[in-house]
Amino acid sequence: MQRTSDTFSIPQNVKIDSIEHRDNMVEIKWSDKHTGLYSYAWLHAHSQDMSSIEGTKSVPYPQSAMRPPRRKFTPVVDPDQTPRVKYDDVMSDDESLHIWLTHIWDQGFCFVDDVPVSPEATQILIERIAFIRNTHYGGFWDFTADLTFKDTAYTNEFLGAHTDNTYFTDPARLQLFHLLSHTEGSGGENLLVDGFAAAAQLRLEKPEHYAQLVNHRHPWHASGNEDTCIQPSAMAPVFSMHPDLNKMYQIRWNNYDRAPKTNWSASEQTIWYRAARHYNEILKSREIWTKLKPGSALMFDNWRMLHGRSQFTGKRRMCGGYVNNDDYISRLRLLKFGRKEVLDNLGNVGNNPQNPYWFI
């Protein structure tokens, strides 16, 4: 499906010689003697917003269709109503896979029950979506609290709500945890918070605080191990806004990994910390606590959901891994829309309420 013609060999003054309509296609013969075939679906998906073209008065589609709708999501507030699917269903049926990924998109996370309690079964569960992302932690994890990596995740300490990979230019989108065993101790309850829902509440209560977390970009880092000092290629805000769709699409919130920031004044610091404190208070009020157990894996959207855990004692073995954003969204788009509609809408950033591009 790649472009195969040499764009720059086409004459600059090329014109249409003739147009013929047939079935669901348009055939155009051009003045340089080549013929183009265009489906009506493709033409509709890529039609211009005529109101933006100078000298044009008519608008082919309602203005409401030109503006992408706000992202709708379903926050979960009751631990007893957490979305769940079955391992065998997900592994054997694409419709069940679609349901699983849609739960993650709509609600931010989903449990997979009846997972065989083994690293091997957990790994192929993640790979049902896409390949596992490799990082400085490796690919598929199978770890205990032994500080193999100098990171708070590899301890038994309390971990407050945070997103992972704030220090990457491209943070991983999905994250899966499967508790394989916990013996000779207690604790280690799992914490989830819907960062999008908390951000929406912040925007309602104090729009100026919301703006602070959008507008101020911060440095982030991972420097615990001697051979690692990872920082994103550019500083990034807590709330990232999509430049085409005008909506928040990613949260970076990790007090452990936020690096010192120098390019702001004392007054700007004061205002930002006031806004961050407000957001932190909202996050605490929206916490969902669950208990991970062997045989039940948790997959969540790391661009939306903050996670953490309570302190624990004893021996705790956990496995899991990351999946990249592009691979997750590719899988979800194709399952939801089908290949034809996805291809018809390549490059489309507007005017179609069912546009697959809105899944980001």
The per-residue pLDDT for 149 is 52
The per-residue pLDDT for 69 is 47
Helix (H) or strand (E) holding 186: none
| pLDDT of 76 over the 80 cut | no
Please check whether residue 175 is in contact with residue 322, taking contact to mean a CB–CB distance below 8 angstroms. yes
50-54, 256-260, 292-296, 320-324: least confidently modelled range: 50-54
Dist CA 229 CA 262 (whole Å): 19
| pLDDT of 349 over the 80 cut | no
Closest CA to 240 of 231, 232, 249: 249
- List residues bridging with 297 in a β-sheet: 112
Dist CA 26 CA 310 (whole Å): 62
pLDDT tens readout for residues 263-303? 999 999 999 999 999 999 999 999 999 989 999 999 999 99
Phi-psi region of 65 (alpha: psi -120 to 50; beta: other; left: phi over 0): alpha
pTM of the predicted protein model: 0.86
Please check whether residue 305 is in contact with residue 105, taking contact to mean a CB–CB distance below 8 angstroms. no
Helix (H) or strand (E) holding 16: strand 16-22
Q: What percent of the chain has pLDDT over 70?
A: 88
pLDDT tens readout for residues 136-173? 889 999 977 665 655 566 677 889 999 999 999 999 99
Dist CA 251 CA 271 (whole Å): 19
Dist CA 256 CA 260 (whole Å): 11
45-59, 118-132, 163-177, 325-339: least confidently modelled range: 45-59
Q: Ranked by mean pLDDT, which of 51-55, 59-63, 157-161, 329-333 comes out on top?
A: 329-333
The beta-carbon contacts of 131-140 under 8 Å, at least 24 apart in sequence, are 131/323, 131/327, 132/321, 132/322, 132/323, 133/172, 133/321, 133/322, 133/323, 133/324, 135/165, 135/168, 135/172, 135/322, 136/222, 136/225, 136/228, 136/230, 139/321, 140/319, 140/320, 140/321
The per-residue pLDDT for 20 is 94
The per-residue pLDDT for 155 is 74
Measured at the CA of 307, the angle between CA 301 and CA 308, to 5 degrees, comes to: 160
Measured at the CA of 122, the angle between CA 121 and CA 126, to 5 degrees, comes to: 120
Residue with tokens 């013996």: 183
| pLDDT of 350 over the 90 cut | no
| pLDDT of 231 over the 70 cut | yes
